[in-house]
């Protein structure tokens, strides 16, 4: 088998191997295409379903930037049973709730064999959830490099106004066309970048959990993510100008994190204490009936904060762990280079919420992290006070 670390992301679909971590890894995604003009690869990716009924889902915006082209390409290439579902919400934002999910289910005819989701967050999550329950494969045509959920088996949706993330399934294929991604609003690009920056502390946190808590780790997956991060960070200054190469590297880093998660079947490669802070903030916003700030924007900001934990606790961290996390001010500079916000105050997190999240963030999920480490070593309260003063003055 070719060394996975030398592979291009397009070569990874269908991959299966015995890993140095002692486990057998497999990756069920069948096709990935991330490049300029990648939408032209859609008919080839969907070819096994050429004679079948296909349901393609978009909203008015994603129809305009990608859906229209997707339908045309399929028809030109001999796909005759393509059924369209357009969510026309006007100025309202689409929510992945009972109404949206039910609508998709209603449009899934008995002889439908494949769904294609054209969009990012909501359309991706909705189609992912419905197809996971009805047992159909789906292909995602991404319209924004905004999060790492394209290749992940979770689908954040709403039930009775409450957000949760039930397990769904992995996509059959992913199309990330940089000509389409560059039409994404700047805040969605910032969010994707923030989510990628978050992998820095996620990986340091994973190392801590291995050394201080005896958790499992796969070094191959860590290297996969690190390589994608290096490439993305090297091109970060092109993001504010929507440079196609920078957007491609961002999309690849988001996707590679998904690949790594799928290989080890846990979200460790993608999410550590920085995600706990962001989830804590998000839950507070939802509790108060407010629209939360983009996930990745919160994550990017939280990464700077968690990096301060690694700095302040360096004296008691296991050997080698502190070195995995760069100084907080470097992470802040990196976020700025990519045009993303870098402080909790700047994105409107209140001082009270910030302090509370540092103290209680470890309760968000049962997972060992630097927050738990600080709590167990009785350093959490003092650190929370110190950092709140530092970030809010
Ligand atoms: Zn994330
Ligand atoms: Zn492994």
Same-domain pairing of 293 and 348 = yes
The residue ranges of the chain whose pLDDT is under 70 are 1-2, 91
Ligand closest to Cα of 22 equals: 2
Cα(107) to centroid(ligand 1), Å? 30
DSSP secondary structure, 261-329, as one string: HHHHTSSTTT-SHHHHHHHHHHHHHHHTTPPPPPHHHHHHHHHHHHHHHHHHTTTTSPTTTGGGS--HH
Same-domain pairing of 213 and 348 = yes
* pLDDT score for 114: 98
* pLDDT score for 287: 81
Cα(17) to centroid(ligand 2), Å? 9
Same-domain pairing of 153 and 58 = yes
Taking the model in full, what pTM does it have? 0.93
Asked, for residue 15, whether it belongs to a domain, the answer is no
CATH number of domain containing 132: 3.40.50.1970
Same-domain pairing of 75 and 203 = no
CA 117/CA 285 separation, integer angstroms: 28
Ligand closest to Cα of 197 equals: 1
Cα(255) to centroid(ligand 2), Å? 18
Q: Which domain-ending residue is among 115, 149, 181?
A: 181
Number of other CB atoms surrounding residue 113 within 10 Å: 15
**pLDDT per position as a tens digit, 237-266:** 999 999 999 999 999 999 999 999 999 998
Asked, for residue 28, whether it belongs to a domain, the answer is yes
Same-domain pairing of 228 and 175 = no
Q: Which domain-ending residue is among 181, 203, 236?
A: 181
Q: How far is the CA of 336 from the CAs of 158, 390, 392, in angstroms?
A: 33, 19, 19
Residue 147 burial class via C-beta count within 10 angstroms: exposed 0-12, middle 13-18, buried 19 and up: buried
The whole domain housing 380 covers: 186-392
Ligand closest to Cα of 302 equals: 1
Q: Which domain-ending residue is among 181, 197, 225?
A: 181
Write down the residue that tokens 């001999």 correspond to. 78
Cα(19) to centroid(ligand 2), Å? 4
CA 31/CA 9 separation, integer angstroms: 10
* pLDDT score for 388: 98
Angle between helices 328-337 and 295-312 (to 10 degrees): 160
Cα(260) to centroid(ligand 2), Å? 9
Cα(8) to centroid(ligand 2), Å? 18
Ligand closest to Cα of 270 equals: 1
* pLDDT score for 283: 85
Ligand closest to Cα of 223 equals: 2
Angle between helices 244-264 and 219-234 (to 10 degrees): 170
* pLDDT score for 231: 96
Same-domain pairing of 155 and 31 = yes
Same-domain pairing of 218 and 168 = no
Cα(296) to centroid(ligand 1), Å? 6
Same-domain pairing of 147 and 239 = no
Q: How many independent structural domains does the chain possess?
A: 2
Ligand closest to Cα of 4 equals: 2
Cα(61) to centroid(ligand 1), Å? 24
Same-domain pairing of 382 and 260 = yes
Cα(254) to centroid(ligand 1), Å? 9
Cα(149) to centroid(ligand 1), Å? 8
Asked, for residue 86, whether it belongs to a domain, the answer is yes
Same-domain pairing of 157 and 72 = yes
195 close to 300: Cβ distance less than 8 angstroms:
yes
Cα(218) to centroid(ligand 2), Å? 4
Coil, helix or strand at residue 16? strand
């Amino acid at each position: 088998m070719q060394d996975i670390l030398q592979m291009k992301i397009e070569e990874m679909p269908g991959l299966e191997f015995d890993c140095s971590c002692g486990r057998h890894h497999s990756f069920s995604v069948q096709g990935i295409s991330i490049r300029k003009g990648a939408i032209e690869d859609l008919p080839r990716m969907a070819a096994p379903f050429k004679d079948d009924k296909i349901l393609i889902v978009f909203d008015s915006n994603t129809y305009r930037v990608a859906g229209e082209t997707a339908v045309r390409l399929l028809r030109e290439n001999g796909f005759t049973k393509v059924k369209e579902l357009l969510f026309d919400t006007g100025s309202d934002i689409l929510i992945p709730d009972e109404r949206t999910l039910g609508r998709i289910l209603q449009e899934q005819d008995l002889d439908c064999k494949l769904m294609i989701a054209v969009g990012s967050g909501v359309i991706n999550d909705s189609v992912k959830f419905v197809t996971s329950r009805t047992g159909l494969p789906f292909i995602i045509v991404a319209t924004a490099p905004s999060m790492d959920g394209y290749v992940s088996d979770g689908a954040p949706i709403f039930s009775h106004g409450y957000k949760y993330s039930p397990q769904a399934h992995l996509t059959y294929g992913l199309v990330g066309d940089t000509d389409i991604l560059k039409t994404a609003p700047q805040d969605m690009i910032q969010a994707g970048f923030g989510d990628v920056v978050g992998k820095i502390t996620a990986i340091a946190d994973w190392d801590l959990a291995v050394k201080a808590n005896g958790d499992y780790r796969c070094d191959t997956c860590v290297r996969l993510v690190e390589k994608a991060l290096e490439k993305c960070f090297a091109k970060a200054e092109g993001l504010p100008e929507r440079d196609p190469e920078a957007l491609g590297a961002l999309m690849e880093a988001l996707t590679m994190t998904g690949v790594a998660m799928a290989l080890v079947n846990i979200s460790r490669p993608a999410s550590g204490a920085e995600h706990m802070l962001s989830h804590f903030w998000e839950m507070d916003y939802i509790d108060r009936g407010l629209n939360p700030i983009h996930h990745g924007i919160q994550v990017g900001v939280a990464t700077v904060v968690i990096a301060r934990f690694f700095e302040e606790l360096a004296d008691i961290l296991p050997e080698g762990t502190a070195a995995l996390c760069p100084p907080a001010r470097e992470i802040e500079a990196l976020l700025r280079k990519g045009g993303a916000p870098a402080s909790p105050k700047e994105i409107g997190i209140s001082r009270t919420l910030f302090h509370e999240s540092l103290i209680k963030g470890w309760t968000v999920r049962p997972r060992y992290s630097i927050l738990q480490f600080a709590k167990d070593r009785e350093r959490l309260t003092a650190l929370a006070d110190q950092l709140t003063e530092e970030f809010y003055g």
